[in-house]
Structure 1
Amino acid sequence: MVKVLITGGTGLIGKELQKIITNKGYEVVILTRSPKRNNEFLWNISENHIDEEAFNGVTHIIHLAGAGIADKRWTTDRKKELINSRVQSANLLFKYVKNLQISLKGFISASGIGYYGAKTSDIIFTEDDKPENDFISKICQQWEKAALQFKKLDIPVSILRTGVVLTKTGGALSKMNTPLFLSALGNGQQFIPWIHINDLCNLYVEAVENTNFVGIFNAVAPEHQTNESFTKILGNTISKPVLPLNAPSFILKTALGEMAYILLNGSRVSANKTSKFYTFNFPNLTVALNQIYNE
């Protein structure tokens, strides 16, 4: 019997993932700071506490927890929160799994394409490429290091370096569908590696079901789109005009501070390794956006 424990299960991706895993006939339990349902259990990272009952019969852990990268300006305190919410939570899970001697069949963790840094280049990044030295990359590096420690317990580890997740409710699209963002940002030539939420959730299921789907994988659609082309396709899909003038970089930097650089830079990321294990339902942006907005 498969029983999956999900952290971050009350978030945007977590809620959708719960539905898909449950529909597969698997049992799901959630770690949350405010348990309200029978399958929800308390954890408190700052107090290093998890309700041990949450681990009863668990075969896999999917670690999605982490403060939203683009939710707030990157103050010094916010930067610490972005790292600690991912790393300390993984460390806490490791401590409990080790002390309770839980024989997991897999530890599956989110990460981000930010691992390769916020840079625009001719490189198409693969899982074997080295990380960058900027802040967004450092978050991902520490995030992944915390996940990989489960290998010390002979637990298979899968990590999904995730691009911009497309979904109708919340997330990136709700922010892009505004007057400021419904225009190309900066020079518009930075790439936006993206993935439909259905494909992302299915990749997590693949990691649960396929014992060969172990290691690090880019969770991005195989199609490459620049910020400019992405914005035009989005505008056509929702029948809204795209502003003819690009949003100047200095406006974004003024509005968002340091965080603006992840919007103004971006390179292509390869889905070749992932595609050997999984066939994308939404490999094309036009099809993906039509499904989200018109079905």
Structure 2
Amino acid sequence: MTNEGPATIEAATVVKPQDARLQMFAEFWHYFSINKGAVIGLFVFALLILIAIFAPLLAPHSPDDQFRDFFLTPPAWQAGGNAQFLLGTDAVGRDMLSRLIYGSRFSLAIGFVVVTTALISGVILGLLAGYCRGWVDTLIMRIMDIILAFPSLLLALVLVAVLGPGLVNAMIAIAFVLQPHFARLTRAAVMAEKTREYVVSAKVAGASHLRLMLVTILPNCIAPLIVQATLSFSNAILEAAALGFLGMGAQPPTPEWGTMLAEAREFILRAWWVVTFPGLAILITVFAINLIGDGLRDALDPKLKRS
């Protein structure tokens, strides 16, 4: 008969950090996977990422190659179509499928850059407003309110008109428009966490203001920011497509979906495919991302978790 000492029993009950992380991920995936739409959206979004990464291998042609003998060729399954161009060609003979595949790179890159920029700047402003309060809070929040008072697309259009048409300037303008949402959300979360016991304990222990904001408070505000970032990702793609359609975003011959729609609008009645396929690409991408956002909300918000 063996005697187990207190140290042995204590060692047996210690949960390793790796096990705790795995348990947290398993719980997250359980609540996320309950939402079947979110799982489908995740699958579609992962597929889009793979298409963007392997675009040179998947695209049958270069997105800028012009085939002079095949102007506005219909899709391969339609009368007059050509098997060489599965989804047809545009007004200057460029393969629609190749341009859609390469366009996924631009749309996903726009969403990532815009959301990252808006998230970082918005979190910094929200942290300062929620933690410092007083005149700092008033100044930052009134500026955010002024930005939110304008229609987002109109404000982005004005900013691009000032900065000059182009994809980079369009991303800067969209990030500026989306930034207040992150700032207000961060401020509300910081104000809720600031008075909790663990923050007061860290303050009594001598933690600096910077440590309190970045190490103590901010990690507990991440969940709502993740959901907001996911939904803003789809908004960024839509805003960029709208600016491209108006001629203020990506400029031709860039195979960006909004720009493709702008180039094709004069052919909408006699060449349906040049408008339909870029529009479907935007629709599917935004819909998939919104489904993921709903799943993340269910999985990360304790009030919405299902028993």
Greater radius of gyration (CA): 2
TM-score by length of 1: 0.26
Higher share in helix: 2
TM-score by length of 2: 0.25
- Structure showing greater relative contact order (alpha-carbon pairs closer than 8 Å, 6 or more residues apart): 2
Higher share in strand: 1
